[in-house]
Amino acid sequence: MVPTNELDSAVLLSQPRRAVDMLWATHKDSHVIRRQLDQQYGDLRGTRDWDQIPYLTPSNVKQLLTASQSTEGRENGVLVRWQCMIQDTGLGFELYVSSLNHQGRRECAMYGNDIKYAEQEFDSTLMKDDGMAERAVFFGVSLPGMTNWAHEMAVGSTPTVAEALEHLHVDVTDVNRAPLSEDPSVTAVIKMYDLEEAEKLKTTDVIDLVGILGIDAQPTVDWHLSEEEAAIQWMPSIHVLHWTHTPLHSMTQAFLQQVSVPETENAMPAPRPFPFADQDALRSGLIDYLATALGNDTLAAEYVLLVLLARIHARRAGMTVGSISLNLSGMVDHELLPVLESLMPAVVRQPLSLATLNDPKHTLFVRHEEPNAYAGRLQLPNGTCVVVDEREMQEGKLQDHGIKNISALASVLQKYSLPYVLPYSELHLDTDLIMLIVSEGKTFLPVDVHVPLHSTQASMAPSASVEALQTWRAYLARTRHNSLAIPESMSQHIQDDFVERRRISPEFNQEDLQRCLSVARLLALSHGHAELTPDIWRRAVSLDEARAARLAPPP
């Protein structure tokens, strides 16, 4: 086992290239250097030093890039943090110079350190095999739909860049790769040196990384083109020193690390100070918060809560288990979107109209046209809350592109898979999005549950304390990933109840049973239970009956 050479935090933070050189001087082994850099930068997490690393945003990326290209920046390197979504994994590995001869010594060229050396020193290295290695290359984009509170948590107290220099000719946002082109975003080439770990990454994975910022030509799969034939596009690049996989629910980790765990089944650990009397009060408060935005409709609020907790926990024979989509109709006026943004780390509003559906620039699916993979608006991290707004939809003709968009949306709703359209074929990428459709009348899209809104007062934007919001966010994140057992006796109870309901009401079919099962599972989790009980089953059936009563035609 190679001992760790602990580097001073000042070197790690302000001179990352020197940190690489210092480890190389001791070990001359790229594998050891990679492991030690990963460990030492990882050890900074949760410390004040971590917050001193600039967080990459659309507002500061050009300033940081300018600093990285200065004489001092090229020598020492500019360290950045970034939480991003992997947009494209199709670039594979690239061959690079990992070490070279400089003034009679073998020097490290990993992590972009090659920027310090003259071109002629590369020529001699390229003639040998011992100075070459492979690294993984991805495209990353700023997290689409990231809400304000989640962004503030990710950024922390990172300092602003002191000096802003303009006129840097680098494309910091590739609108073809950003799923939501209307939102400010950063697009960057991500270069990873741990190939085994890099191979585990998938499209739409969210990662939190620390690395050395630079500028690179946009990679392309058209390796046969010369530089003269290919139009070179320069863009930010990050040589990753340390990274972790950070699903959306982990953004509440700061809350969860400060909690005590109640001694009841799957009950939600409560942040201190806990702003509610108990778990039931927490849930009731959240229902009231949601209902206020829905004209005090508590039934609709119950179903919104359950949809926010839904998560795919199994895929069998093309079917998903655990997912549930919701259509709220009668949504002429509501305040639901800002409420969802106050609770969820990522929320995306997807308007539906003939104009947007038929617009080739407004694509819901991913399409690959050499040499790029163009992001679709539904290419989003798992756990993103998508609010499909049908209220602008009018009669008219869907053109070919509009039909493809509707087909992609239906695929996400029914199969939770997003089409990836290639020139001569089509793939489907598994996804796990929270799908909520708001409309005036019943949606034309395939959904699991339809709830007409019955308001008893005007919808209002509800208010809540910071402590309550933090608690609800943590509750949603933890509960969504809890597990639920269904004892054999409970399965028999459900089967017997189904037979009895079929006897009384023959129209109660297998689809109704499956819907009630999904609701019962989520209802049990929402109350902190670890097992499904007869009482929860009865409440789930009662919810479904109350919902069905709203669908019945008036006498």
Residues in the chain: 555
Percentage of residues in the chain having pLDDT higher than 70:
85
Per-residue pLDDT of 427-456, as tens digits, reads 888 999 999 999 999 999 999 999 999 988
Tell me: do 51 and 152 sit in the same domain: yes
Per-residue pLDDT of 270-309, as tens digits, reads 444 566 778 888 999 999 999 999 999 999 999 999 999 9
Tell me: do 197 and 72 sit in the same domain: yes
Cα-Cα-Cα-Cα dihedral of 222, 117, 195, 144, to 10°?
Answer: -70
Q: Does the pLDDT at position 2 exceed 60? A: no
**Residue 528 counted as domain residue:** no
Tell me: do 339 and 239 sit in the same domain: no
How many structural domains is the chain composed of?
Answer: 2
pLDDT at 459: 76
- To which H or E segment does residue 414 belong? helix 400-415
pTM of the predicted model as reported, rounded to 2 decimal places: 0.87
**Residue 491 counted as domain residue:** no
Tell me: do 176 and 54 sit in the same domain: yes
Tell me: do 238 and 340 sit in the same domain: no
Instruction: Say which amino acid occupies 151.
Output: H
Structure tokens at 342: 């106050």
**Residue 356 counted as domain residue:** yes
**Residue 312 counted as domain residue:** no
pLDDT at 310: 94
Q: Beta-strand (E) ranges in 193-318?
A: 206-217, 234-245, 259-260, 270-271, 314-316
**Residue 436 counted as domain residue:** yes
User: Which domain-ending residue is among 462, 477, 499?
Assistant: 462
- Looking up residue 210, the CATH number of its domain turns out to be 2.40.50.140
User: How far is residue 130's CA from residue 355's CA, in Å, rounded to a whole number?
Assistant: 57
More confident residue, 117 or 332: 332
Structure tokens at 296: 């005090």
User: How far is residue 485's CA from residue 268's CA, in Å, rounded to a whole number?
Assistant: 17
Tell me: do 328 and 194 sit in the same domain: no
Structure tokens at 337: 């979107």
**Residue 349 counted as domain residue:** yes
User: How far is residue 47's CA from residue 78's CA, in Å, rounded to a whole number?
Assistant: 19
Tell me: do 328 and 240 sit in the same domain: no
> C-alpha angle with apex 94: 88 to 99, nearest 5 degrees?
140
User: How far is residue 291's CA from residue 60's CA, in Å, rounded to a whole number?
Assistant: 39
Residues 471/271, Cβ–Cβ less than 8 Å: yes
pLDDT at 440: 92
User: How far is residue 551's CA from residue 554's CA, in Å, rounded to a whole number?
Assistant: 9
**Residue 366 counted as domain residue:** yes
User: Which domain-ending residue is among 442, 462, 482?
Assistant: 462
Tell me: do 242 and 351 sit in the same domain: no
Tell me: do 371 and 241 sit in the same domain: no
Tell me: do 202 and 55 sit in the same domain: yes
pLDDT band at 164 (very low <50, low <70, confident <90, very high): very low
**Residue 109 counted as domain residue:** yes
pLDDT at 225: 47
Tell me: do 202 and 60 sit in the same domain: yes
Residues 146/196, Cβ–Cβ less than 8 Å: no
Contacts 24+ apart (CB under 8 A), 525-528: 525/266, 525/309, 525/479, 525/480, 525/482, 525/484, 526/283, 526/305, 526/306, 526/309, 526/479, 527/279, 527/280, 527/283, 528/262, 528/264, 528/265, 528/266, 528/267, 528/268, 528/279, 528/479
pLDDT at 337: 93
- Looking up residue 423, the CATH number of its domain turns out to be 3.40.50.300
User: How far is residue 64's CA from residue 101's CA, in Å, rounded to a whole number?
Assistant: 30
pLDDT band at 71 (very low <50, low <70, confident <90, very high): confident
User: Which domain-ending residue is among 433, 462, 491?
Assistant: 462
User: How far is residue 496's CA from residue 235's CA, in Å, rounded to a whole number?
Assistant: 63
pLDDT, mean over the chain: 83
HEC letters along 99-155? EEEECCEEEECHHHHHHHCCHHHHHHHHCCCCCEEEEEEEEEEECCCECHHHHHHHH
Tell me: do 238 and 344 sit in the same domain: no
Q: Which domain holds residue 104?
A: 9-116+125-159+172-221+231-246
